[in-house]
Structure 1
Amino acid sequence: MNITIIAGARPNFMKIAPIIHQIHSVNQKRKKISFRLVHTGQHYDKKLSGTFFEELNIPNPDKNLGVGSGSQAAQTAAIMTAFEKELLEYPADLVLVVGDVTSTMACAIVAKKMNTKVAHVEGGIRSFDLSMPEEINRMVTDAITDYFYVTSEIAIENLKNIGIKGDAIIFVGNTMIDTLISNIGKLKKPKIYDSLNLCSKKYIVLTMHRPANVDEEAKLKLFLQEIIKSSRGVPIVFPAHPRTKQILAKLNIDAKNFHVVDPFGYLEFNYLVKKSFCVITDSGGITEETTYMKIPCLTLRDNTERPETVTLGTNELVGTNPKNIRKAIDQIFEGKWKEGSIPKFWDGKTSERIINHLLSIEF
């Protein structure tokens, strides 16, 4: 069997790492799967270096398409053009895509037009918010996917509602949790932990990156002011990307407990999360990790494509009104936050289930 694995952005590598590990494990007994790892280069990230791949114990990509940034249309076209050449030169029995970035959709389209099977890791997740580019990517990808590796029972229902037959849906769990479990004993204390005099369960981790939250300076300032006012003086650590830092510099936020720092690697960031009092975020993936680690999590969004982190886990949707933040943080300080539980199959064996299914496919 010959497969091509697609990664388009940093979180994708965290999702494909355990799949690659499981392929290596199977091949040690008897070589059954050949794979080619293709990085589309959709997001440039200086932390996608040798150190990053070493942290996750995965090989450097066989090919970096180097498409770079651009508008949604320009980026999609560039990925499709470059990946078509790649797939012509290195044909595959199946193309495996993960998540919901532009690369996921673009490479799935190319594969199907070249009569190649497509498997989608995290198939069926939905926010039902069509203003999010990721939701379009999910819908289009799932419309042409052959095999859906799903993270939750809610995702199964979403797929059935659009007419997907049961045998195409494989309930496997969450590869992000595979990665977290395999690395939980290797987490590294970042340098800022000591330099900021942080103490376990006595600081807040904040991440914000969605354009709707960070691009409007006035709205971002209201968010930050409300978080700072509600924090009761507890340190707030905000790993911010350079673009967000430029916006923050204009806001003149003056608070002794508010610390803007550089982004972390995987092992350092999750060390910070694991020991935090709570996490405030507008990310989807982080809510999965906080659910597994049972860390209270506030999501600054009106919807989520990972509702199991709310119905079962430690996450709550605070919404996009900054005034909702104080009540939620007060609940955590008062010990009234839900304990949460871990969703089914978030057990570190997701990749094993995926590979076992791949091996059962007849091409």
Structure 2
Amino acid sequence: MDQLNPRQLTVLATMYYIGSAILVIPAYLADKAGNDAWISGLLGLMIGFLPLILIYALEKTYPGKHLGEILESALGKILGKVTGFAFFLTYPLGIITLSLRDIGDFLTTSLLRDTPLEVLILFTLVVISIAVRLGIGTISRTAELFFPWVLLLIILLIVFVSPKADIENIQPVLASGWQPVMLASLTLAGFPFLEHNLFMMVFAKVKGSASLALQLGKGSLVSGLLIVLVVFMCLLVLNPGQTAAYVFPTYELGKMIEFGQFVRRIEVIVAFIWFFTIFFRVSFLLYTMVTGLSYLLRLHDYRVITFPVAVISGALSLLWYPNITELNNFSRIWTYISFLWGFGLPLLLLGGSAVQKMFRSPKSPREPA
């Protein structure tokens, strides 16, 4: 059955939020906040909890409905469809293209240097498309199976590099004040902790009485603390300057692993962590996009557009970001787009619901003379 329980939603959300963030976020935060990047990580995580309040309100207002149905219920069929198409063709599509380029650039620069980027992205999309066609139930159960291994590998990474940590690398604290720290925190909030509204597309698939917004909050907390911990170790081991200079600082952190004189350069630990999490991230994004579009187009089965949408996404990832410089430039702009959809869409839906209630409320009876 294409369903999942609240625990599986929490695990899937955790894997999704870790995604590619664990590989690239340390560089973004260190570039803006320097040795205070770990503080920015904590603040970004806290900001990311705010949209969950709005999602909780929508969950209670429209129980048992997914995002496509909520759009039409709150905004009407015409405006709901227009907003839905604008959302699905910009937000999940944009994240998919960014994630695919992260996959391609990481593999071509770190592991498979002689393999064409197009081949790597195509192969990745074929595997992900198969997973999406199998359904969200299969994706969530597989995430549940791999999550303990991801958690174990992150712990091993931190334990193995901790002997090389130098506390002086994060001193003095707040030497440049709070402004750069706050600006950097917006980066982590926008990527990935303002993407909660995407999970509203699977709310109708979750069986159980637990609050779904609460499950997303648990996933955010676990993944956020793991990401901040990795950022912290990058600063301690690599120092802020090197962390900001590397494209994938977490992978460079993995190169520092030494265990005695016989275990060295086992950065493949980082690669395994990232392969698992990015697979579930892109699989969920593609599932959200094709199910949302199929609902708006009134298709009987989302599977008929899975491969076409996947191919278009892969082509756009190569067209929009011809090189890693363009990718980094767009990633900085993406924070603002994420804030627009992360806060704007739930507020718009709650506003539409409030307006409908206002006009549907019965008129109060006249007082007797």
- What range is the shorter-chain TM-score in? under 0.3
Could you state the TM-score of these two structures normalised by the residue count of structure 2?
0.27
Larger radius of gyration: 2
Structure with the higher helix share, 1 or 2: 2
Higher relative contact order at CA 8 Å, sep ≥6: structure 1 or structure 2? 2
Could you state the TM-score of these two structures normalised by the residue count of structure 1?
0.27
